[in-house]
């Protein structure tokens, strides 16, 4: 069953459970000695640490592409994630990104465009009407969340820089600063982290530049202040804290594709028909559900096939994974 709805979402900001209530619920579970390690880790995060102040983004437009699935708790979203720049453990980002300051922030636009330059973050946000998009996040390892992102379509941003006819791909680069991102002192990846999309993937209306979640700014551990969200490629294309976007004629090499070409192809998608060499993509376990709830079947393209399958028509997705 598709998780996409064609009509405007009926989910209002007022219907999303307040973050303080979520935190209180997590504290109750903690005190009762219940829940998984991930839930307890989230409960240990204070409201201040997790940036759960009053919502900054008001009157957000509602996206027609949102799922109606139950939202994952804010504490779980911010307490259990991957961000190797702050460590390789799932709990490292929340612990080690507390002092990271993403203000001010700028992004360099380079390559095959008519308007290259260095732009302040405000230059990207102000021209666009921000919206809330509720996407299912299906990670490579087989766990999933449902996250209310705040952002704008990458396509709207790209159009402002007028790519030339030579621009076939878009490359993204994360901040490289070992003082601010201590995980980069480890040689676990070739830094800075890079990622890439084909131009039609980048221009697809589902592809989002996220600047917040749960109505507020992005927490540091989730990629502050701006990150890429590609819902049918979750677990493969999740670059965070972007400082450079380069338009190229030739296919760029992403970080994971560079160090593990047999495991991470350039066109990697959420696809239960194509197993990762070290684990299956056929099922997923929802973070926040009790262990005994079992696993759920993973949907091809994470349920967004109607919007994206045409881009891969005629391609052998086992070969071009």
Q: What count of residues does the chain have?
A: 321
Confidence (pLDDT) at 35:
36
Here the tokens at position 210 are 């996220």
Confidence (pLDDT) at 21:
38
> CA angle, 79 as apex, 5 and 62 as ends, to 5°?
25
Confidence (pLDDT) at 26:
39
Q: What are phi and psi of 101, to 5 degrees?
A: -110, 110
CA dihedral 273, 274, 279, 284 (to 10 degrees): -40
| Cis upstream peptide for 48 (omega within 30°) | no
Ordered alpha helix ranges (H), the chain: 19-32, 37-43, 74-79, 92-96, 121-125, 154-161, 199-203, 255-259, 305-308
Asked whether the beta carbons of 173 and 194 are under 8 A apart, the reply is yes
Asked whether the beta carbons of 236 and 268 are under 8 A apart, the reply is yes
Helix (H, G, I), strand (E, B) or coil at 282: coil
Confidence (pLDDT) at 293:
84
Q: Write out the chain's pLDDT in tens, 321 residues.
A: 334 433 434 443 433 444 443 344 333 333 333 333 333 344 344 333 444 456 899 889 989 999 999 999 999 999 998 999 999 999 999 999 999 999 999 999 999 999 999 999 988 886 568 999 999 888 777 889 999 999 999 999 999 999 999 999 999 999 999 999 999 999 999 999 999 999 999 999 999 999 999 999 999 999 999 999 999 998 788 899 999 999 999 999 999 989 988 888 888 888 888 887 777 888 888 888 888 888 889 889 988 999 999 999 998 887 777
Please report which helix (H) or strand (E) contains residue 198, including its range.
strand 194-198
235: left (phi over 0), alpha (psi -120 to 50) or beta: left
pTM of the predicted model, to two decimals?
0.82
Here the tokens at position 246 are 């380069």
Here the tokens at position 168 are 């076939």
Q: Under 8 Å CB-to-CB from 122, ≥6 apart: which residues?
A: none
- How far apart CA 87 and CA 92 sit, in angstroms, is 5
Helix (H, G, I), strand (E, B) or coil at 152: strand
Confidence (pLDDT) at 4:
40
Reduced DSSP (H G I as helix, E B as strand, rest coil) percent helix, strand, coil of the chain, to 5: 25, 20, 50
Of 195, 131, 119, the closest CA to residue 160 belongs to 119
Domains of the chain: 22-310 (3.90.420.10)
Tokens 């993403």 identify what position?
A: 102
- How far apart CA 315 and CA 319 sit, in angstroms, is 8
Helix (H, G, I), strand (E, B) or coil at 110: strand
CA dihedral 144, 146, 148, 153 (to 10 degrees): 60
Confidence (pLDDT) at 193:
97
């Amino acid at each position: 069953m598709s998780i996409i709805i064609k009509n405007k979402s009926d989910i209002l900001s007022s219907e999303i459970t307040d973050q303080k209530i979520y935190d209180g619920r997590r504290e109750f579970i903690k005190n009762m000695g219940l829940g998984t390690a991930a839930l307890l880790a989230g409960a240990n995060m204070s409201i201040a640490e997790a940036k759960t102040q009053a919502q900054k983004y008001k009157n957000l437009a509602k996206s027609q592409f949102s799922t109606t699935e139950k939202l994952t708790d804010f504490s779980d979203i911010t307490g259990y994630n991957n961000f190797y720049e702050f460590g390789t453990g799932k709990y490292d980002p929340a612990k080690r990104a507390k002092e990271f300051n993403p203000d001010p922030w700028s992004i360099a636009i380079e390559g095959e465009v008519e308007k290259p330059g260095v732009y302040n973050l405000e230059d990207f946000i102000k021209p666009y009407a921000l919206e809330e998009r509720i996407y299912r996040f299906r990670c490579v390892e087989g766990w999933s969340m449902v996250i209310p992102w705040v952002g704008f379509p990458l396509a709207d941003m790209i159009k402002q820089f007028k790519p030339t006819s030579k621009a076939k791909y878009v490359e993204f680069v994360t901040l490289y600063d070992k003082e601010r991102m201590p995980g980069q002192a480890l040689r676990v990846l070739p830094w800075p982290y890079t990622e890439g999309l084909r131009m039609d993937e980048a221009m697809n209306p589902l592809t989002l530049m996220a600047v917040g979640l749960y109505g507020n700014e992005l927490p540091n551990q989730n990629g502050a202040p701006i990150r890429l969200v590609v819902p049918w490629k979750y677990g493969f294309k999740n670059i965070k804290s972007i400082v450079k976007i380069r338009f190229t004629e030739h296919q760029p090499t992403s970080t994971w594709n560079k160090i593990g070409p047999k495991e991470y192809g350039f066109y990697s998608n959420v696809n239960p028909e194509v197993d990762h060499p070290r684990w299956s993509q056929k099922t997923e376990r929802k973070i926040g559900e009790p262990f005994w709830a079992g696993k759920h079947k993973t949907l091809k393209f994470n349920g967004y096939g109607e919007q994206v399958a045409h881009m891969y028509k005629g391609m052998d997705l086992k070969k071009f994974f």
